[in-house]
């Protein structure tokens, strides 16, 4: 197992600077953000431009990672593959394929994304849509030796009422997407506020988890007494503000990282555990963000052998 982090938390820095910082602070891997520079998400980052990516550029990126002794664990483009606008959906699918092509040139095994959701359709209708849209991407990736990994983020901000915007949030849905040939980029933080035990959910599926993310969640049950499980309604300033929980860097929330890492080892996991830094306390500027990454490292590195 290697400890890494997702570069999306540092959109203002070039990849070379991030790699140098990671190596100097005893991180072993990077999950590299590849959103287009004009993408649709407010927290996008573009540390590798996969559009028109070629062998020359692949050699440059590989040399950068070799120079710093780092592993490139995955390319990361977490977007809505079931977007309600068909033209936008086609753009997203094309960018997933571009990520797969870049991963093949780089010798990277994994491309991360979301299933997503069309918010105007029922879950049953979305599943039927996914069963049409996703298998061609899985086939395209498989022909190039790449696995598509899906993060189990709820993406409640993508739904107008704060309901799940990514149909990969529970073990029931994991089993469905495994049948489509997809893999799981497991993140325990999302399970915490859903009321799912992240260790018990992890145990049966480790053979379908080639990559994992490390993000914590801090729960406030007293606030939940006001808003209920689904979070704020009248007082909701934006789709991401539930009012009773928030993401934290590992060690500052309620996830039991000793049990998570031990369960991964017991199940034979040999991939990368990649810190996904979305902590509002340790955000704002580069110094603050990297301090958050240092906190995550102090929490996780002692648990990882080698």
| Chain segment 269-282, per-residue pLDDT in tens | 999 999 999 999 99
Q: Distance between CA atoms of 169 and 120, rounded to whole angstroms?
A: 19
User: What number is the average pLDDT over the span 199-209?
Assistant: 98
DSSP 243: S
Cβ 217 vs Cβ 260: under 8 Å: no
Cβ 99 vs Cβ 77: under 8 Å: yes
DSSP 34: B
Position 92 scores a pLDDT of 97
Locate tokens 């093949």: which residue?
104
Q: What is the pLDDT of residues 121-156, one digit of tens each?
A: 999 999 999 999 999 999 999 999 999 999 999 999
CA dihedral 98, 102, 107, 110 (to 10 degrees): -40
Q: Distance between CA atoms of 115 and 39, rounded to whole angstroms?
A: 17
Position 239 scores a pLDDT of 80
Cβ 235 vs Cβ 176: under 8 Å: no
Higher model confidence: residue 16 or residue 44? 16
Position 43 scores a pLDDT of 52
Helix (H) or strand (E) holding 266: helix 257-266
Q: Distance between CA atoms of 223 and 216, rounded to whole angstroms?
A: 18
Burial degree of 274 (CB within 10 A; 0-12, 13-18, 19+): buried
HSE-up of 267 (CA within 13 Å, CB side)?
20
Question: The tokens of 272 are what?
Answer: 């990368």
* Residue 37 pLDDT exceeds 90: no
Q: Can you list the domains of the chain with their CATH numbers? A: 2-303 (3.20.20.150)
CA-closest candidate to residue 148, choices 191, 117, 178: 178
* Residue 44 pLDDT exceeds 80: no
Locate tokens 């996008």: which residue?
44
User: What number is the average pLDDT over the span 146-171?
Assistant: 94
Cβ 143 vs Cβ 102: under 8 Å: no
- DSSP lists the bridge partners of residue 224 as none
Cβ 37 vs Cβ 50: under 8 Å: no
Position 38 scores a pLDDT of 65
């Amino acid at each position: 197992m290697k400890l890494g982090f997702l570069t999306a938390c540092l959109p203002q820095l070039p990849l070379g600077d991030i790699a140098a910082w990671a190596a100097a602070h005893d991180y072993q891997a990077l999950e590299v953000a590849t959103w287009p520079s004009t993408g649709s998400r407010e927290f996008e980052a573009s540390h590798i431009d996969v559009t028109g990516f070629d062998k020359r550029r692949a050699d440059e990126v590989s040399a950068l990672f070799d120079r710093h002794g780092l592993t490139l664990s995955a390319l990361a483009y977490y977007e809505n593959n079931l977007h309600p606008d068909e033209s936008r959906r086609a753009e997203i699918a094309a960018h997933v394929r571009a990520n797969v092509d870049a991963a093949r040139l780089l010798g990277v095994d994994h491309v991360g994304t979301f299933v997503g959701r069309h918010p105007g359709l029922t879950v049953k209708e979305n599943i039927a849509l996914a069963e049409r849209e996703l298998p061609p991407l899985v086939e395209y990736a498989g022909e190039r030796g790449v696995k598509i990994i899906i993060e189990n983020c709820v993406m409640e901000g993508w739904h107008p009422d704060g309901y799940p915007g990514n149909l990969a949030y529970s073990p029931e849905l994991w089993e469905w997407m495994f049948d489509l040939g997809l893999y799981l980029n497991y993140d325990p933080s999302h399970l915490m506020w859903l009321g799912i035990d992240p260790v018990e959910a992890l145990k049966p599926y480790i053979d379908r988890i080639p990559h994992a993310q490390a993000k914590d969640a801090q729960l406030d049950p007293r606030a939940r007494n006001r808003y209920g499980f689904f979070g704020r309604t009248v007082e909701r300033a934006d789709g991401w503000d539930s009012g009773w929980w928030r993401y934290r860097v590992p060690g500052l929330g309620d996830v039991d990282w000793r049990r998570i890492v031990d369960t991964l080892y017991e199940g034979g996991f040999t991939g990368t555990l990649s810190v996904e830094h979305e902590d509002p306390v340790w955000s704002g500027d580069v110094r603050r963000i990297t301090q958050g990454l240092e906190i995550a490292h102090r929490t996780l590195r002692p648990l990882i052998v080698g």
